Structure 1
Amino acid sequence: MAVVVVIDDEPLQRGILKTILEDEGYEVFAAASAEEGLKIISEQNADVVLTDLNMAGMTGIQMLEHLPKEPSSRPAVIVITAYGTINSAVEAMKKGAFDYLIKPLDKDVITLVVGKAAERMSLLKENIRLHRELFDKFNMEGIIGRSKKMTEVIDVVKKITATPVTVLIYGESGTGKELIARAIHYNSPRKNAPFTPINCAAIPDNLIESELFGHEPGAFTGATHRKPGLIESADGGTLFLDEIGDLSLLTQTKLLRVLQDKEVRRLGGKDTIKVNVRFIAATNKDLEKEIETGKFREDLYYRLKVVTVTLPPLTERKEDIPLLVNFFISRYNAEFGKQISGIDNGALKLLTDYHWPGNIRQLGSVIERAVLMADAAAISCEDVKSELKQPIACDIMDIEIPEEGIIFEELEKKLLKQAMRKANNVATKAARLLGMSYKTFWYRLEKFGINIPNGTRPPKDTTAPG
């Protein structure tokens, strides 16, 4: 229950207020002066203060000026005044008082106003607690990884958090692009403003503009009321545009105008609205290739890629897998009320050797199920292997070579093309399906003149094995 401090230099009224509020279940402390009240407020971390305005010594208004300015430390103050001093009560409200009560005091009014003040403080403290949890979760230490590639990512993120620059994050699905975007936001000066994510691939083209820019009544069929867009709602904060490569060219054009002019116009509206938004975009597509094929605007690309962060797939940071496994075990122990102590060496080797097409998201799902289903103190091979779709090892002795022989390069070419189809033209995934390094895979694609897929071409002077 909330802590209430009653400040009044009249003993009778002070006693009545204390009794009324204690009967309501509050923890109540009483003070005969503003000076004494300030001491109690500090010591007891008060939630609500009832104070008379006119007292000997420091007045109620003067006391307001001595309260902490930080919202998390400042109680809700209700001032008590007589009819003749309502102007003073209004002045107190301007200085931050929550409400005022007029003498003679009514018991029901007292309990109602104090209840509202206590509820407001409870919501405020809960909001602050949740915000601190978000900051703790998405601070730099919350980005799990000691591998060289992740250390490089963290170093870049640290350099850009205090700036307003736009950021473009590359990475396969499941590598943690939104986690990085949130880390940038919650370590920036904008951390107290909204972080607004939107998945551009998940919203149909005919709705995405309304979601981003908002609309006025009558802008289109079904638009019966004004709706601010996500860009407008993110004012002062950060807008995270996930899978930006899936935006239509028309929407790209309108987004470019927002980035250039720092203003947005709702669909069907005439007026522009100034916005102060940091944009962070993410994609698993090769936007330079999308530009070549006319699917992405070059000018928007350069507006977005002021700073580029490239997240490695899990197979390129396998030394981080034990850290990630321990993190997920702790998370799901808490969620499921389990006490799994860790993972045995055999199971950890299985996870480390696996090719992880779904990256960190898939690893988290595997550990979630393992924690839920495990009967022993530690996760074993049996708890994880059913979730791992291992690549099939091809035994050359199972292939029957015809009498007329085969053209081995044709077989290899077909395997490369099939891997690309199964990987939806994502080169890194296709390389893993064939058990090749990324550079070797590119080398063989170019050797056979296969169209270059989405991905980043290795340096030209790279000599691939095999």
Structure 2
Amino acid sequence: MNGKILVVDDEAIQRDIVRDILEDQGCEVAAVGSGPEALEYINSSPVDVILTDLRMPGMDGVELLEKIKQHEPETVVVVITAYGSVESAVDAMKKGAYHYLSKPLGKDELTLVVQRALQSKQQSDEIRSLRRELQERYEFHNIIGRSQNMQQVFKMIEKIAPSESTVIIYGESGTGKELVARALHSHSKRKDQKFLAVNCAAIPDTLLETEMFGYEKGAFTGAYAQKKGLFEEADKGTLFLDEIGDLDVTLQAKLLRVLQEGEFQRVGGSKTIKVNVRLLAATNKNLEEEVKEGQFRQDLYYRLNVVPIFLPPLRTRKEDIPDLIEHFLQKYQQKHGKAVKRVAPAVMKRFLDYRWEGNVRELESVIERSVILADHDIIDLDTLPQKLQEPLAPSTPTSPLDFTIPDEGISLEHLERSLIESALNKANWSIKKASELLGISYKTLQYRIQKYHLKD
């Protein structure tokens, strides 16, 4: 047997007997005479299994067990009782003890129980190691995803984060665009500098200009003092402009100048200010289409679209839903002090069938609500929002050429994806031929293929 054992017993003779037996079996054994000594020992030297007498002066074995489980829950504890009744030993097992032994100890029984305890510890260590490995593999800077789509996103982040290039992140609302931006910053050469973010759609244009570029004292009514903008504050760091597709055309021109020249002027000022800022942007719009419609400057589009990242919607990566659920359960267990550990099978089925128009953000909201409302350690259907409590309608047909619109409607995005897949298959994945079949430009079809993560 390989492993480190700590024997806790106030009787020196008993400690020596147990130590001799286990050392003969190949174990590394330490022995102490009280609960406080045991706690002091494991604080400085971790052990695999603890054998503790139940009846000891001062801190008894049950109290020692409780303290061990509070601080080192994975430690395997075996209790030893010298009294005919096993009630106290059973109580100890309810509180987390692995097994119990009765005095006088038999050599064979002691050896067998310790051997199994060491095996249990080894298995739990292997499981934790595997979970850590899976977490590292499927979680990238708080972005979770084992799906092929998300693994491609992780690879893109790793490749482009160290560069100084401008990046634009495409994705629906709630897909985690800001998380990707933060991951890019955290893995860049600027990681020790500031990361600042602003939502261009959430601030009126008149205020957004001063927010981005600052203003001079007296520039307008209420400008009682000079104020730095985000570009100045983010100098040598990273600035993230979310929903950049909603940026006013006038501000687009000023932003273009910063990207081209690395300089700007505060509102109401004439002094040119130089900055060194890496710009990251995000949008839920097709900027190429916005350019065609005159809503977005073409020159700015090409400046921003150096390296695009396309975030898939949650409904196209449903294999990630169980991992996301576990992540959010852990998060909101701690936040709300509720021991909600899992979801019922019926709830999991609803989650996998649901379309999640609000994407990961909507899923997180549902999990938090359910943790708050749950009466037990499991999320049942009755804790879900009403729209998720009722059985979900069958999914829309996969063929875009032969269907009737169901009463609950149909997703145009789902239909568009199906049409594109059908055209690509019909054209043997010739993008030029498929674009002609669909009546759209080659570049527009390329964008759609990237957006929906379509592959031959």
Q: Which amino acid aligns with 2:412?
A: A
Cα deviation, 1:295-341, whole Å, max 9, x if unaligned, reads: 10111111111111000000110000000000000000000011112
The residue aligned with 1:304 is 304
Q: What is the rounded CA distance, in whole Å, between the counterparts of 1:392 and 1:269 in structure 2? A: 59
Structure 1 residue 347 displacement after superposition: 1.1
Written as runs of structure 1 = structure 2, the 5 A alignment for 1:398-409 is none
Q: Any conservation in 1 of the 2:350–2:392 contact (CA below 8 Å)?
A: no
1:431 maps to 2:410: no
Structure 1 residue 382 displacement after superposition: 2.5
Written as runs of structure 1 = structure 2, the 5 A alignment for 1:207-222 is 207-222=207-222
> Judging changes above 3 Å, is the alpha-carbon distance between structure 1 residues 150 and 193 closer, same or farther for their aligned structure 2 residues?
same
Structure 1 residue 242 displacement after superposition: 0.3
Q: TM-score, structure 2 length as denominator?
A: 0.59
The residue aligned with 1:280 is 280
Structure 1 residue 161 displacement after superposition: 1.4
* Number of residue pairs the alignment of both structures matches: 298
Q: What is the rounded CA distance, in whole Å, between the counterparts of 2:288 and 2:225 in structure 1? A: 39
Written as runs of structure 1 = structure 2, the 5 A alignment for 1:370-389 is 370-384=370-384, 386-388=386-388
Q: Secondary structure at the match of 1:309?
A: strand
Q: Any conservation in 2 of the 1:442–1:457 contact (CA below 8 Å)?
A: no
Structure 1 residue 442 displacement after superposition: 8.6
The residue aligned with 1:191 is 191
1:440 maps to 2:419: yes
Q: Secondary structure at the match of 1:216?
A: coil
Q: Any conservation in 2 of the 1:213–1:231 contact (CA below 8 Å)?
A: yes
> Judging changes above 3 Å, is the alpha-carbon distance between structure 1 residues 293 and 442 closer, same or farther for their aligned structure 2 residues?
farther
> Judging changes above 3 Å, is the alpha-carbon distance between structure 1 residues 216 and 176 closer, same or farther for their aligned structure 2 residues?
same
Cα deviation, 1:54-73, whole Å, max 9, x if unaligned, reads: xxxxxxxxxxxxxxxxxxxx
Percentage identity across paired residues of the two chains? 47
Structure 1 residue 264 displacement after superposition: 2.0
Q: Secondary structure at the match of 2:280?
A: strand
The residue aligned with 1:205 is 205
> Judging changes above 3 Å, is the alpha-carbon distance between structure 1 residues 458 and 149 closer, same or farther for their aligned structure 2 residues?
closer
1:251 maps to 2:230: no
The residue aligned with 1:355 is 355
The residue aligned with 2:225 is 225
Cα deviation, 1:113-152, whole Å, max 9, x if unaligned, reads: xxxxxxxxxxxxxxxxxxxxxxx9xx83532101000000
The residue aligned with 2:84 is none
1:328 maps to 2:319: no
The residue aligned with 1:81 is none
The residue aligned with 1:142 is 142
Q: Secondary structure at the match of 2:350?
A: helix
Q: What is the rounded CA distance, in whole Å, between the counterparts of 1:169 and 1:449 in structure 2? A: 26
> Judging changes above 3 Å, is the alpha-carbon distance between structure 1 residues 332 and 292 closer, same or farther for their aligned structure 2 residues?
same
Q: Which amino acid aligns with 1:204?
A: P
Q: TM-score, structure 1 length as denominator?
A: 0.58
Structure 2, unpaired ranges of 5+: 1-135, 396-400, 424-434
Q: Any conservation in 2 of the 1:218–1:224 contact (CA below 8 Å)?
A: yes
Q: Secondary structure at the match of 1:168?
A: strand
Q: Any conservation in 2 of the 1:216–1:268 contact (CA below 8 Å)?
A: yes
* RMSD, matched Cα: 3.6
Q: What is the rounded CA distance, in whole Å, between the counterparts of 1:209 and 1:287 in structure 2? A: 21
The residue aligned with 1:167 is 167
Structure 1 residue 377 displacement after superposition: 1.7
> Judging changes above 3 Å, is the alpha-carbon distance between structure 1 residues 390 and 311 closer, same or farther for their aligned structure 2 residues?
farther
Find runs of 4+ consecutive structure 1 residues off by over 4 angstroms. 389-394, 441-444, 446-452
Structure 1 residue 194 displacement after superposition: 1.2
Q: What is the rounded CA distance, in whole Å, between the counterparts of 1:222 and 1:257 in structure 2? A: 27
> Judging changes above 3 Å, is the alpha-carbon distance between structure 1 residues 393 and 349 closer, same or farther for their aligned structure 2 residues?
closer
Q: What is the rounded CA distance, in whole Å, between the counterparts of 1:450 and 1:361 in structure 2? A: 35
Q: Which amino acid aligns with 1:220?
A: F
Structure 1 residue 284 displacement after superposition: 0.3
Cα deviation, 1:187-230, whole Å, max 9, x if unaligned, reads: 22212211111000011111111111111122223322211111
> Judging changes above 3 Å, is the alpha-carbon distance between structure 1 residues 385 and 254 closer, same or farther for their aligned structure 2 residues?
closer
Structure 1, unpaired ranges of 5+: 1-135, 395-408, 420-428
The residue aligned with 1:318 is 318
Q: Any conservation in 1 of the 2:200–2:241 contact (CA below 8 Å)?
A: yes
Q: What is the rounded CA distance, in whole Å, between the counterparts of 2:349 and 2:361 in structure 1? A: 19
